[in-house]
Structure 1
Amino acid sequence: MKIFNFTLGQPDFPVTVTYYQPAAIADFNQPPRRPLVILLPGGGYRFYSDRENEIVALQYLAAGYAVAVVAYRLIDQPPVYPTALYQLAQVVAAFHRHAETYAIDAQRILLVGFSAGGHLAALYADLWPQLAQTCRVPSRDCAVQAVVLAYPVIGLRLGWPPDSATRQAISGTWDLTEADQLVTSQNPPAFVWTTATDELVPPQNAQAYVQALQHVGVPVAFHLYPRGPHALSLARSITAFPAGTDQDPTFGARYVEPEVATWFPAQLAWLQRVLG
């Protein structure tokens, strides 16, 4: 594996990308072009969660994907939108244009977003044709073939954030923040999951997006698990908080949910069917 850090985008909205490139296999006469995961960690638009960052990227690498982690705009430089969307469009376009350099298959690019990163991914999936025009990029270079959303924020009216100051820092004067209301037949297929007991981002977020996709005939797989807190990530011990975190000896254990952990192999199987 090789790891590269670089900056993409126009001067008005540069974005840092960490690219994880699988090592070439010497036995192969023709090195394969890998499918690409563009990974958008959560963190409430305040930070990038380490539990949804490199440790998740490594799981995709082990499954044969290349991974690009995007450090999109946060609320310490308000507003988040529309800059975060322009940044993401530039990243997608760059990997399309330089697919040979990055040894990826430009016809198998997908977005994977957690929580707030899921909001960005869902909005991008809705708006990519318009973003291509705004960023003066050929439409084909902004297309992605699938989206995976984990406990996503979908609309700022659906229970998160709880305060108007954060909403304003996210949206500013940008009024296209309700991803379920922006779905069209041009959206890529989606795999969406959340839990019924998510205490931070209500499951109605994911449900609203799934219903909107179904309404226009976009293929969608939806998993609503019966229990589990927000930000489960892989729902395994490798992404759980250490025991005793927050002065509660059971705190870390709540982030290990074997039933929820099935989401990762389930979406790999789904991606195989969607991407080929």
Structure 2
Amino acid sequence: MNLQEIVDDIASAMKPRLGEGKIADYIPELARIDAKQFGLAVTTVDGETFTAGDASVPFSIQSISKVFMLTLALGKAGESIWSRVGREPSGSAFNSIVQLEHEHGIPRNPFINAGAIVITDMVLAGHAPREAIGEFLRFMRYLADDDSITIDEKVARSEQKTGYRNVALANFMHAFGNLHHAAELVLGVYFHQCALAMSCVQLSHAGLYLANRGTNPLTGFSVVSEKRARRINALMLTCGHYDGSGDFAYRVGLPGKSGVGGGILAIAPGKASIAVWSPGLNKVGNSALGSEALEMLTQRTGWSVFGH
């Protein structure tokens, strides 16, 4: 199987369609991005990276950061985190308040905004917000083995100015006793983690531990246990694309996590970590061309977790 040929073919197929979908313009800083971009990077567990298109252009990873924050929280608090956040698909929008009221401030899973805010609250325990942001950035540089990764302050500020619904979610959970720090402190960290800028290449490297039983084969660093890697993948498969998770599992068949910056991290367990990016989103808020590119990739490679 010639992976370089496959990624080149996918990028060629996407070329005439660049700019499809709708950019996440509710975050003003993201609205300024050129929609006509597409990047794809596939890093195998043997440590080889195959790229096409704009694979080395940094973009705002947004909600993909939730996978890595969950990994940090599990490292700090272990399985006890599940008393404060569920593990079920939400079936409603990623920023829904209705469900949260119904379930008494316990978010349905760690990948919807409310759940991710609780996870961030856990990582903040014992830290000042600046320290927690620093810890997250160091962790991401360690995972990707790349010290050039940074947080885009402009995007973070842009989100802070417009994130009223996230403020509402945080305050709401605080009222139920499920947020242990002041809402504005937790949100300060949350908006910064979402504003992390990474390229497809860096992101495919950072996700490699999930494809390789918890260990990054590029560095030999053990990040999580094999069991924990498997469980994070399970959550990505069932909850990683909000109310589009079922459709993504049906069409692509890989654990994945999308972000409104147009990025998607997908994991082929035992095979590869894949990052794709194209800013235009489909109606459920996932990268339109990115989702299709991953579907093409699994068709060509047979990498679906549901067998050939």
TM range (shorter): under 0.3
Q: Which has the higher strand share?
A: 1
Specify which structure has the bigger relative contact order, considering alpha-carbon pairs within 8 angstroms and separated by 6 or more residues: 2
TM-score w.r.t. structure 1 length? 0.28
More helix by share: 2
